[in-house]
Amino acid sequence: MVRVTRHQQRVWALQILYCLDLTGELNLAQAQKHFRNLRSANDLDEEDYYFEEIVEGVIKDLNRFDRIIDRQAIDWQIERMAYIDRNILRIALYEMENEIPVGVAINEAVELAKEYGDEKSAGFINGILAKVKGE
């Protein structure tokens, strides 16, 4: 059995969501294909993985999460945001609502932004999530 960290699973969730968003196929059927490919490529067994929970949760609540982001991102429309940034925000919103402490969700989102976003991503994401936290 392969032991996978939560951080790595967030990275995989981000990669899947990014790919689906980029191709305009943010749906569960396409996500399932990516799950199978990722499991195979990483020799993962058939247990439930957190990255799948994240992706499914984001897809199911996508419209609501996007409205929250739109409301907090003053002078920014979600369609104009970088694919990486908006998917990191979606993951963080999912986690903030699902038993992950808010501070942990924000910290993880900022770390993902530092790793995968541009030089302004971490500050942008932190600012949006701080506003959401304050609601």
* pLDDT tens-place values along the chain, 135 residues long: 567 899 999 999 999 999 999 999 999 999 999 999 999 898 888 777 999 999 999 999 999 999 999 999 988 889 999 999 999 999 999 999 998 999 999 999 999 999 999 999 999 999 999 998 876
93-108 pLDDT tens trace: 999 999 899 999 999 9
Tell me, what's the pLDDT at 76? Answer: 84
Domain assignment present for 97: yes
Q: Residue 53 is part of a domain; what is its CATH number?
A: 1.10.940.10
Q: How many domains in the chain?
A: 1
Q: What is the dihedral of CA 104, 125, 83, 118, to 10 degrees?
A: -110
Q: Is 76 part of a structural domain of the chain?
A: yes
- Please check whether residue 36 lies inside any domain of the structure: yes
- CA-nearest of 48, 36, 35 to 1 is 48
Is 85 part of a structural domain of the chain?
yes
The whole model's pTM is what? 0.94
- Look at residue 1 and tell me if it is in a domain: no
d(CA 93, CA 107): 12
47 domain-assigned: yes
Domain for residue 72, yes or no?
yes
CB contact at 8 A, 116 and 93: no
Burial classification of residue 4, based on how many CB atoms lie within 10 Å of its CB (0-12 exposed, 13-18 middle, 19 or more buried) = middle
Q: How open is the CA angle 59-106-58, to the nearest 5 degrees?
A: 5
Structure tokens of 99? 């038993």
Residue numbers of the domain that contains 60: 6-134
pLDDT at site 1 = 52
92 lies in some domain? yes
